[in-house]
Homo-oligomer: A and B are copies of this chain.
Amino acid sequence: MLKVAIFGASGYTGFELLRILATHPGARVIAATSRQYNGRAVSDVFPSLTGFYDGLDFSDPEDRTAVKADIAFSAMPHGASQEVVPELLRSSRVIDLSADFRIHDPKVYNAWYGEHKSEGLLKDAVFGLPELYRPSIKDARLVANPGCYPTSAILALAPLLKAGLIETGSVIIDSKSGVSGAGRGASLDTSFVEVSPGFKAYKVGAHRHTPEIEQELSLLAGTEVSVTFTPHLLPVSRGILSTVYASAKKGISTKDAHGIYQEFYGRERFVRVMPVGKYPDISQVRGSNYCDIGVYADETRNRIIIVSVIDNLVKGASGQAVQNMNIMSGLDEAAGLLYPPVSI
């Protein structure tokens, strides 16, 4: 039985790790840290988990010397994570859910996030998108779990970019995310009354997930890819839908494009390609680790439209982290993750 520890366990990604790991057949949570709830029972803070973590209290993050975990999840905010991860690495393999180790180029990191306190680790971290980097993840000591928007965008574009079929300067990613993506901190911007009957674009032209998306798309294409990425805030708790537009290098039919996706993702257990003419709804992956994708080619305008959906807290964060844990530990990659979405 794998022993796992969750650092920063009282945010939404931490909570979601607790939810998913509660029934994992091969792993057991031995510690969950939270500065804010230090000393309180997990089920006292999260009543939905009553009965699943009897006896487990949130502990102080400083107590981590006591922790002898095989896998340490860091679910702390970026900036905080990079301070803690080096120490965690001394005793455990680490899966970091923050943005701290996703960018390979320190200069790019600095430009978007500021100075990095553990810059030396950037080159060792493996980008934890199993569909692209499964072999490296298997042996990694430090996995940088991808961002939610990047996961939806990269999985949407990978088959076409890899096949060299699209104009790399033409990519537009119009993404819409549920509110849990903003984290669990109290804020007027994410209050029910402000969000509830609304919908808006935000950080137009300036969202920090842009360099992460561009890094991975460029690696896939083998050449620099620059994208326009516009995030929007949906009045739902969970889910990201990305509508991705790209110009085809030469004419391609929907049927051919669809075939490329089926081929690329045919053996993947968490990517489901929709039939031709169908496009996914975020509800159909709610609470699950799936990424569902639909594809359409507009031959008249030489443009391809890809629609991808994920649950931002699962495939976009904690579910993918558990998938990585499974791979790292030699477990079935889908262990603890194979159940139907709670779609309604």
Binding site for B on A (CB under 8 A): 12, 15, 18-19, 22-23, 44, 46-52, 169, 172, 174, 176, 179-180, 184-188, 190-202, 204-205, 226, 228, 230, 232, 234-239, 241, 243, 245, 269, 272, 274-275, 278-288, 292, 294, 296, 298, 300-301, 303, 305, 307, 309, 313, 338-344
Contact = CB atoms under 8 A, between A and B. Distances in A.
A82 to B, nearest CB: 26
A186 B194 CA distance: 10
Contact of A199 (B201, B241, B341): B241
The 8 closest A-B pairs by CB, nearest first: A198-B283, A48-B343, A200-B281, A287-B342, A48-B284, A192-B195, A174-B174, A179-B192
Nearest to A203: B279
A10 to B, nearest CB: 11
Contact of A193 (B184, B300, B341): B184
Given A193-B180, A232-B176, A47 B200 contact: no
A99 to B, nearest CB: 20
A303 B285 CA distance: 33
Contacts of A237: 192-193, 196-197, 344
Contacts of A235: 192, 196, 234-236
A280 B186 contact: no
Nearest to A226: B301
